Amino acid sequence: MPNAKTAPTPTKAKSASRAKTIVASALSQAKPGRLTTGELTVALGSKTLRTLSSRKANVKALMEVLGETIDESRKSGRSMGFMVEVDRTGQPRILPARNRSAKAEPKPAARPAEDEDDLDRALDAARERGRLRAAEVLSGDEMLSAEDFAELLGVSRVTVNAKRQKHEVLALEGAKRGFRFPAWQIDENGKPFEVLPRLFELLGDSPWTVYRFLVQRHAELDGASAQDYLRRGRADQVVEAAESVARGAFA
């Protein structure tokens, strides 16, 4: 990115203590010609600035993934990358980089060692796709920190963490961002969905599994998502859908 520079801070001491911060949890309003993300200010052309200003969440997700990719590349000692695909509506999507070493010509019959290498590469690619998707989800505007979620509920952070451990609230954990709590799990009465412990009981202890179940559309729910049905007060149908998913998983 051209002309990237760190925004000035009041004192050198504060600057030193915050030097490691590259991307903050939220984008702030910037001066004309500049897009600011926490500690990083980037000078942009007016046309680019107008385009990106309406997509602050996407810019934040991109910068988060870029930072994590740089860290992983340094730790692993190998080149890493990702791609950004933009659809016809202008919506960007973060994707793992394609294997540029792949060749178009047919490969000879693989030896067992080559089979293992192919499997390792496939597993690495799958993990990379999962890491990028998780970073994208966790940087969404609806994802709240423990402090913000506690404020939304009107309770302490200690109470929120106790509820998380008892599966009374849904919290997703990332590599660096800590736990993030989807704001949409709060019902019209300002309480977390009461059915959450039952969903964990049916689908397992993984918060990501429960999250996917809640955001995905289900034929058992007439093509709607489970979170939509919960917001309509139709918890019984959501439990039935979860039971169907659980039966399919163990069939």
Alpha-carbon distance of 36 to 29, in angstroms, equals 7
Q: What is the pLDDT of residue 81?
A: 76
Alpha-carbon distance of 68 to 91, in angstroms, equals 22
pLDDT tens column, 201-242: 999 999 999 999 999 999 999 999 999 999 999 999 999 999
| pLDDT above 80 (res 124) | no
Query: Sign of torsion, CA 197 199 202 204?
Result: negative
> At a CB cut-off of 8 Å and minimum separation 6, what does 1 contact?
42
Q: What is the pLDDT of residue 9?
A: 44
Q: What is the pLDDT of residue 153?
A: 94
Alpha-carbon distance of 70 to 81, in angstroms, equals 9
**Chain-wide mean pLDDT for the chain?**
74
pLDDT exceeding 70 applies to what percent of the chain?
58
pTM for the complete prediction?
0.52
How confident is residue 64, by pLDDT bands cut at 50, 70 and 90? Answer: confident
Q: What is the pLDDT of residue 103?
A: 41
Token reading at 233: 């007060």
